[in-house]
Structure 1
Amino acid sequence: MPRQYFALALLLGSSFGATAGDAGNFHLDIPMLTAPAEIDGRLDDAVWQQAATTQLTIETGPGENTPAPVMTDAKIFATQESLFVAFIAHDPDPSKIRANLSPRDRNWGDDLVGIKLDTYNDARLAYQFFINPFGVQADSIENELTGRESDAWDGIWYAAGEMTDKGYQVEIELPFRMFNFDKASVQEWGFELIRYWPRDENHRLSTQARDRDNNCTLCQLGVVTGLEDLEQGNDLQITPSLVAGHNRDRELPNGDWQDETDVDVGVDVRWGITPDLLLSATINPDFSQVEADAGQLDVNNTFALFFPEKRAFFLDNKDYFDTQMNLVYTRNIGDPDYGAKLTGREGQHTFGALVANDTQTRFLVPGNLSSSVASIDKESQNVVGRYRYDVSSGLSIGALTTLRKAGDYHNYQFATDIKYQPTDQDTFTAQYSVSNTQYPEGLYKEFCGDSDNCEIPPGGCERGDCDINERVLRLLKQEDFDGDLLRLRYQRETRNWYANLHYQATSADYRADLGFVDRVDFNKFVAGGGYIWYPEDATFNRIRWGGDWDITHNDAGEELEREIETSLELEGKLQSYMEMGLVHRSRVGLREDKSILNIEDNTTLFHETFGWFYGEFWPAQTIKTRLNMSYGDTIDFANNRPGTNTRFRPGISWDVMDNLALDFAWEYRSLDVAEGELFNASLGDLRLNWQLSLQSFLRVSSVYTDIQRDPSLYLYSTPDSEYKGMFNEVLYGYQLNPQSVFYLGYSDGFRQDDEIKSLTQDEQTLFMKISYAWLI
């Protein structure tokens, strides 16, 4: 059967099962009032006396729908412009309340109250809002279709909290202009009120029970009614910005400093044309990142590193473009002059369109043993289109297209996807994608170490004889070429048992240059499952044991990898979470004759056995510790031989004071071969945040890398014996809301290697940003 029709066959003869929020789980009728409440955390406005009231009486975790151990009262009402919610969180010992004045979205681990809203009540997406006792906000979007939750989205809403002698209380205002919802005069939304009460265990309290035998969480929301004739106003947000920066850099060891000053003026527009249709546009956008990416050690890796998107324009309604695979990775659009995005929903139809240029054109060159990044010095045009049809609450069918073009380069992609839930426990997903790509003539030559030695000799290339590698071979295309991808997955999850089957086939010529698909020319099958226990009155309240087996071939049928793995998860006292596993696998190393992509008789088969562990717990009310480690066999990819890998990554988060937080992570890695230690590498990542108020902060971050190598043990190259690097940043910020901000910062970079004998500064940047969101 052709693979593009196989996913559809999974659907034949089945019945629909999953449902949306149900008033039988919980129901509240929200009164519509004319007067708003003042958001100050005091609950002394007379309007609260007219609000609907309820209580969070059920613990859904770790207790399984048991009575809540503490009492939480909630009040809720609406005006035509906003939804108002108040919590009164009682506590038998208020001195144990965890609350910190921290940055937005960084209050996890504190005492929290919050609300979850599915504004279409169809179990696809839900907005989540959480607040700690000091009024620090966190918001996110839960996506049932992908099974992921993103806290990168930031809405403009209002909250305040106040500690009391009996606990704490919180007031919230959620403007309707922030949401997408049906244009109907009467609304019915999926709904849940939640409280996290972190003590020895982190108790999750709710207005409704949660069935652990149902793997769809949004299907189990309650329902609120009474919302009538909601107004979003003009729902127009205009955010002008001014960004100024002065940058100095130089070539080490003796280069002169080169100075550059940039001043840019830009504007972002966000227009809610209707409650379910949103237009976003940007001109000369500021896509500078205020927070540096977390440090990553890039040693003994053959595949490109992934960094998450953080830029507001791309994050707004990002979920409308998501599919089961990462086929839209907007960090590939690095430096646009303009962008526009239209997202909307009409009944069962959801759609999105994105257009942007990019002054730099970067994309992945994927393979089956490695991947890397290529770039073209031409402006590209980028287009993304997404459509999803929700046939029923249990069946969704979607389509996605991406187009990228720069001169004689292009990458076009079209994909279809299906998610089907015939029962509360079973989920089928399928995705099929085709692509057409054209590389510029001679692009491959830019990635050869020696352009005079970049042609393939008649007899091929023995290792080290010529500068051909997998990236060059994947780029050696004289004309446009086509490829396809198929992904099938079945999951069954009950209260105690789970099982999954997974198959993915990605052809050698498939490319998703606006996505993050770093591996092609492989076909992988995975089968796994396990069992879950929920002990009562024990050290661990949840124990999960499982494992899987997988096998991978290339398009030619040559085996790349075969693996079996078992793992154990434990959750319990001290808010502890531990996960450990043991892996045994056989996989091929690098190609010996680099001028061909063959695997058999051209690679070495290595056998690896290794173990890994991850754990985190709270030894004290203000300290969270974590540890990630692994040890065992690995491949020395630089020299294509077996080695022993040691990885050790401890970390600590310490709330030094209520408004001063320190986060430190240190990673150590070493690779030993038969002749000795090939390298050891360490990375330290320090973040210090002083929250001066809810609106202002001072942040200091520093990332330090130290890599020591023994060049005498390298067979095919002579690397530097040492490399050291340091990146530092000091940032002051004032935020009225996520879009109205003032930032002033300084950053610099240092480098050291065999030629540069000490850490020497090679980059300095001073920058400022001012933006203000006009809500019209």
Structure 2
Amino acid sequence: MVVINFFRVVFIAGVLSGVVSQDSFAGSNQQFHLDIPTINQEIEIDGDFNESVWQQAAQVRLKYETSPGENIAAPVNTYAKVFASKTSLYFAFIAHDPSPENIRVNLRDRDKSWGDDMVGIKLDTFNNARLAYQFFINAYGVQSDSIENELTGQESDAWDGIWYSKGKLTEQGYQVEIQLPLRLFNFDDSHPLQTWGIELIRFYPRNETHRLSTHQIDRNVSCQLCQLGTASGLAGATQGKDLQITPSFVADQSNQRDIAPTGPWQDDTNIEAGVDLRWGITPTTLLNATINPDFSQVEADAGQLDINNTFALFFPEKRAFFLDNKDYFDTQLDLLHTRNIGSPDYGLKLTSKTDDHTFAMLAANDIQSQFLVPGNLSSDIAVINEQSHNVATRYRFDPSKQFSIGGLVTLKQANDYHNYLASVDVKYQPTKQDTFTAQYAHSQTEYPDNFFNQFCGRDDCSYDLDDCEIGDCAINERVLRTKKDGEFDDKMFNIAYQHERRSWYVSTNYESIGSDFRADLGFIDKVDLTKFVFGGGYIWYPENNFFSRIELGGDWDITHSQNNERLEQETEMFIEFEGGLQSYIATGIIQRERVGRRHNSSIIHIDDNTTMFEETLGWLYTNFTPIGSVKLELDMYLGDDIDFANNRPASVNMFNPGVEWKITESLVLDLSHRYQTLDVDNGRLFTANLSDIRLNWQLTLNSFIRLSSVYTRIERNPDLYQYQNPDKLYQDLGNELLYGYKLNPQSVFYVGYSDAFVANDDIDSLTQHEKTYFMKLSYAWLL
């Protein structure tokens, strides 16, 4: 009842704020204004500005440095020209440099050129401070694009649009020419003239990365999209047909074999065709459909160590069908994580925005049912080998620039299994410094009979669960969380407040997740808890100093089970520095108390069934660029930890150095290595190493060769394990060699080879057990 009343009060306040101040907090003429002329002439995007139409374009100068300098005069001159046709926006940037030989530019794959000299465009096509398209281009014309979502405070570069750019170095610096087809955007074409939020940007990386802009940015305002300028024009703008059909053809041959003992290779050849449809029904409504899609991962996920970890690992979404207009589904909580739809035969997505209303719908099947089984001390992935149907629907109402209210419904269903979820969320910004967010969700779930058996390691674990001491039986938290009769339901809610000013901030958050709450289409890996967090910090901006920004902050949090049993209490202090050599340094100390494993794993209770451990942990993260071609990175922590396998105190050391070396303008080596040890009273329990090597040779703007290799080595001392008898040595190695040609993000040709090796106590050395040859061809027809 308290939650319902809170939502009612915030909703009324939000509507009233819209009546009082309908136009506050969005892009405004006072920030910056640009009148874009419409000239019905198309041009060739070649990096030169020799067409006469550029003489009629609007021109603007990027006069301000917004970071690290605070709205000071830009150190270099940058000019932009803009005009529109009925179907495209055109931009030309002229970036002067007093020392052109210091320009940082490389041939890279899309979205990989960060750190280079580049110019960019930010556009909010509804000028409502909710979403903005971002386009950045380096001096060779390499593209990076992303979506900035003010509702969640996140930026995602996973979105890839089809647009055109060329860049070239000049004696005075560099210049870039850009065409943005209007089919890229959602916008309301019912207006005779458009008014969009806009910012033009240049990144000028030298000792520090200078951010230059068309207008000033107020650090005393927490909202970023609220500070855009405006662009008016685009008379008679239209998307045209906005129909894209992308057929694809995929072929692969997989070879696998058993290796303990070594058996013969088993071959499997697969040839499939599919098609994707992207149709802009109107400028504000987009339909995506896919039949027999190829959802293979062309780029391997980054290596992760899954050791002394009781919760499931998170992997980001990379597949184009799910990423297009993904932001329309986003809420403050991760209730839709589409990697839970592993291998669909078909998919359909409809997204639309009209005035203050935003709607999104997604439907897809999956050849199996995969989802997360959460807990308060552990979580794991579950699989039901039956086809599932998956649906998500999102609606959001924005009655004012300060207030949003929305709802999300998800469904995941198979034979004898279902998970239904309904959620409502609000965001309210009564001032430029204050932000309230709240979200409530309710779920209803049913598991198949004997579903829990897949977590106990036996064919049947329905025997008597009494006196099941740690390590003595196969019962664990996942068994207890899934041993359900019939339907069960529960709720979760989250309330947060944040106050941000130029030099200080405070925030607080309260979250409650019921023990039977499930979000099987999302990524909620913890349930049966309540958590309260309070934190804040202070920020300095030194002048004429190596460090241009210093932040000192911290927070305190406490977590209980739904039965009010304490799970964790933590205090953290940290300090951050940003400055010369494009450096970022952050370090802190954590003091906490938290519980380990359950002593009797057949009982869900915490009190008198766990041990509370005290920990002090120090951490450090830094990255910097000592020279233009080398970026160094280090992530490390050391101190107290818990040996979860044996439920006892331990000490941990983790070092994760990395280097990005731009060997030439087109050849880049990315190397990282993670070294982690865990020591207990009687010695070293394990030593784990993970090496991730990626070599990318960008042959042209459109083609590349990439080699990646991920190697894991874990050495354990079995004598120190009380309840298990693990291998003394485990190793695995995965390799991939790929050639790719990208005409655009959807018109691609890939051919490659991947393999996998493994070794353990039964296999003396790394032995190949899997190899795959694959090819993909797709072409986007723009109609």
Band the TM-score falls in, shorter-chain normalisation: over 0.9
1:37 positional shift: 2.2
> Aligned to 1:496, which of 486, 494, 503?
503
Distance 1:155-1:13 versus aligned 2 partners, 3 A rule: closer
1:248 to 234, 237, 255: 255
Mapped partners of 1:186, 1:640: distance in 2: 66
SS at match of 1:343: strand
Report whether the alignment pairs 1:734 with 2:727: no
Instruction: Indicate conservation of the 8 Å contact 1:247/1:260, yes or no.
Output: yes
* 8 Å Cα contact 2:182/2:238 also seen in 1: yes
Post-superposition Cα deviations, 1:10-43, rounded to whole Å, max 9, x if no partner, equal 5665763751100110001001001122111111
User: Which portions of structure 1, spanning 4 or more consecutive aligned residues, are displaced by more than 6 angstroms?
Assistant: none
Q: What is the distance in 2 between the residues matched to 1:453 and 1:125? A: 50
Partner of 1:286: 294
Q: Within 2, Cα distance between the matches of 1:322 and 1:190?
A: 21
What CA distance in whole angstroms lies between the structure 2 residues aligned with 1:36 and 1:288? 37
The answer to whether the 8 A contact 1:384-1:400 is kept is yes
Q: Which residue of 2 aligns with 1:61?
A: 67
2:117 is equivalent to residue 120 of structure 1:
no
> 1:582 aligns to what?
589
Q: Aligned equivalents of 1:21 and 1:733: distance in 2? A: 40
* Shift in Å, 1:700: 0.3
Letter in 1 for 2:129: A
Partner Cα separation in structure 1 for residue 632 and residue 8 of structure 2: 47
Hey, what does 2:220 align to over in structure 1? 213
Q: Distance in 2 between matches of 1:7 and 1:554?
A: 25
Residue of 153, 156, 174 corresponding to 2:159: 153
Identity of aligned residues (%): 59
Secondary structure of the corresponding residue to residue 47 of structure 1: helix
Per-residue deviation at 1:698? Answer: 0.3
Correspondences of 1:164-243 after superposition (within 5 Å)? 164-184=170-190, 185-243=192-250
The aligned amino acid for 2:74 is A
1:134 maps to: 140
Displacement of 1:3 in angstroms is: 3.1
What is the deviation of 1:539? 1.0
Alpha-carbon deviations, 1:109-142, whole Å to 9, x = none? 0000010000000000000000000000000000
Does the 8 Å contact 2:286/2:350 carry over to 1?
A: yes
Letter in 1 for 2:82: I
* 2:438 aligned residue (393, 417, 430): 430
Residue of structure 2 in register with 1:6 after alignment? 6
Task: Within 5 Å, give how 1:365-404 maps onto structure 2.
Answer: 365-404=373-412
Tell whether the 8 Å contact from 1:101 to 1:691 is kept in structure 2 after alignment. yes
Q: Tell me if the contact between 2:363 and 2:391 (Cα under 8 Å) persists in the aligned partners.
A: yes
In 1: Cα distance, 2:228 partner to 2:648 partner: 54
Q: 1:464 deviation in Å?
A: 2.4
SS at match of 1:518: coil
Q: Letter of the aligned partner of 1:333 in structure 2?
A: I
The aligned residue for residue 654 of structure 1 is 661
| Equivalent position SS for 1:607 | strand
Structure 1 residues 453, 352: closer, same or farther in 2, change over 3 A? Answer: closer
SS of match in other structure, 1:528: strand
Given that 2:328 and 2:360 are in contact with CA atoms closer than 8 Å, whether structure 1 keeps it comes out as yes
Alignment partners' CA distance in 2, 1:667 and 1:174: 41
**Structure 2: how far apart are the matches of 1:447 and 1:525?**
31
> Does the aligned pair in 2 maintain the 1:691–1:697 contact within 8 Å?
yes
The equivalent of 2:326 in structure 1 is 318
Q: CA deviation digits over 1:407-465, x for unaligned, max 9?
A: 010000000000000000000000000000000011111221233554234x3311222
Paired with 1:346 and 1:148, the residues of 2 have a C-alpha distance of 23
Q: Answer whether contact 2:11 2:405 (CA < 8 A) is retained.
A: no
**Aligned twin of 2:760:** 753
Equivalent residue pairs, number: 775
Q: Take 2:518 and 2:167, find their aligned partners in 1: how far apart are those partners? A: 50
SS at match of 1:319: helix
Amino acid at match of 2:86: Q
Provide the rounded CA distance (Å) in 2 between the counterparts of 1:464 and 1:496. 52
Q: Which residue does 2:629 correspond to in 1?
A: 622
Aligned position for 2:33: 27
Q: After superposition, what is the alpha-carbon deviation per residue over 1:526-583, rounded to whole angstroms, capped at 9, x for unaligned? A: 0010100000010110001110110000010100000100011100000000111100
Identify the residue that residue 728 of structure 2 maps to in structure 1.
Answer: 721
Equivalent residue for 1:569, pick from 576, 584, 601: 576
Matched position secondary structure for 1:200: coil
Match of residue 603, structure 1, among 585, 598, 610: 610
Alignment deviations for residues 732-760 of structure 1 (CA, whole Å, 9 cap, x no partner):
00010000000001000000000000000
Q: Secondary structure at the match of 1:758?
A: strand
- Rounded Cα–Cα distance in structure 2 between residues aligned with 1:618 and 1:445: 52
Cα separation, 2, equivalents of 1:590 and 1:111:
50
- Tell me the amino acid that sits aligned with residue 57 of structure 1: K
CA distance in 2, matches of 1:2, 1:22: 38
Residue 38, structure 1, aligned to residue 47, structure 2: no
User: Aligned letter for 1:144?
Assistant: E
Question: RMSD in angstroms over aligned alpha carbons?
Answer: 1.0
- The match for 1:439 among 413, 432, 447 is 447
Question: Residue 779 of structure 2 aligns to which amino acid in structure 1?
Answer: Y
**Cα shift readout 1:150-181 (whole Å, capped 9, x = no counterpart):** 00000000000010011000000000011100
User: CA offsets, 1:566-618, max 9 Å, x none?
Assistant: 01110000000011110000001100001110000000000000100000000
The alignment's TM-score, normalised by the length of structure 1, stands at 0.99
Structure-2 separation of matches of 1:8 and 1:322: 22
Residue 410 (str. 1) matches residue 421 (str. 2) = no
Q: How do 1:547-558 residues align onto structure 2 when only pairs under 5 Å count?
A: 547-558=554-565
For the 8 Å contact 2:630–2:661, the answer to whether it is kept is: yes
Q: 1:183 offset after TM fit, Å? A: 2.1
Contact 1:143 1:319 in 2 (8 A): yes
Alignment check: 8 A CA contact 1:162 1:170 kept:
yes
Structure 1 position 105 matched with structure 2 position 105: no
8 Å CA contact 1:542, 1:571 repeated in 2: yes
> Residue 140 of structure 1 contacts residue 150 of structure 1 at CA under 8 Å; is this kept in 2?
yes
CA contact (8 A) 1:354 1:383 kept: yes
CA displacement, residues 201-222 of structure 1 (integer Å, 9 cap, x when unaligned): 1000000000000010100000
- CA change 1:510–1:453 in 2 (3 A) is closer
Q: CA deviation at 1:44?
A: 1.2
**Whole-angstrom CA distance in 2 between matches of 1:771 and 1:652:** 34
Cα distance in 2 for residues equivalent to 1:183 and 1:322:
25
Question: What secondary structure is seen at the aligned counterpart in 1 of 2:136?
Answer: strand
Q: Match for 1:262: what amino acid?
A: N
CA separation in 2, counterparts of 1:520 and 1:61? 41
**Inter-CA distance 386–11: structure 2 relative to 1 (3 Å threshold):** closer
Alignment of 1:640-679 (within 5 A): 640-679=647-686
| Other structure's SS at 1:515 match | coil
Structure 1 residues 327-342: aligned runs within 5 Å? 327-342=335-350
Whole-angstrom distance in 2 between the partners of 1:73 and 1:214: 27
Given residue 101 of structure 1, which amino acid in structure 2 is its aligned partner?
L
Q: Deviations over 1:464-491 (max 9, x none)?
A: 2221000000001011000101001000
* Pair 1:305 & 2:327 matched: no
Which residues in structure 2 correspond to 1:761-772 (within 5 Å)? 761-772=768-779
Which amino acid in the other structure matches residue 194 of structure 1? I
The answer for the alignment partner of 1:354 in structure 2 is 362
CA distance in 1, matches of 2:541, 2:486: 58
